A = this chain, B = another copy of it.
């Protein structure tokens, strides 16, 4: 089985995409993350849902979560406002998680090896530099474990 045969359609957003729209896509489909590309379409990074949460919550509250209890409900609405003017590239941490990129004719074992090494929840599958789909870790496990059950 080759990577190209198991890759699935998955939301891909560019670094210049509005952050709020990208987060809406992620949350409405309850995805653990999105694939982020450079402006020219080359795969760049994984944006995990947990990284967006980190972006929204101010540093001083992350350092002392007990402050959050004091701030009340309105503060929660307010902090999300940061997303309104942000772009996807702004949400990426300074050292974003490296996105594993596989070729369509790589084997499933090669795909597993690269995902394991990079500890990534997903990888992009490309054909001549263009993303044709994504394989998530849980999808990969389904394929690997199916013969065992």
Q: Which residues of A contact B (CB under 8 A)?
A: 1, 20, 23-24, 26-32, 48-54, 56-57, 61-63, 65-69, 71-73, 75-77, 79-81, 83-84, 106-110, 112-117, 119-121, 136-142, 144-145, 147-149
Q: A50-B119, A138-B31 are in contact. Are A147 and B77 (CB under 8 A)?
A: yes
Return A99 CB to nearest CB of chain B, in Å: 13
Residues of B within 8 A of A24 (CB): 145, 149
Number of copies of this chain in the oligomer?
A: 2
Q: A53-B137, A73-B1, A115-B53 are in contact. Are A109 and B145 (CB under 8 A)?
A: no
Cross-chain contact of A145 among B80, B114, B136, B147 (Cβ < 8 A): B80
* Chain B residue with Cβ nearest A57: B116
B53 engages A112 (CB within 8 Å): yes
Return A88 CB to nearest CB of chain B, in Å: 14
* Chain B residue with Cβ nearest A27: B142
The contact sample of 19 A-B pairs, CB cut-off 8 A, is A24-B149, A27-B138, A32-B121, A48-B137, A49-B121, A49-B137, A50-B116, A52-B141, A53-B141, A56-B112, A57-B113, A61-B113, A62-B113, A63-B117, A68-B113, A69-B109, A76-B107, A76-B108, A121-B121
B49 engages A109 (CB within 8 Å): no
Residues of B within 8 A of A72 (CB): 107, 109
* Complex Cα gap A111–B128 (Å): 42
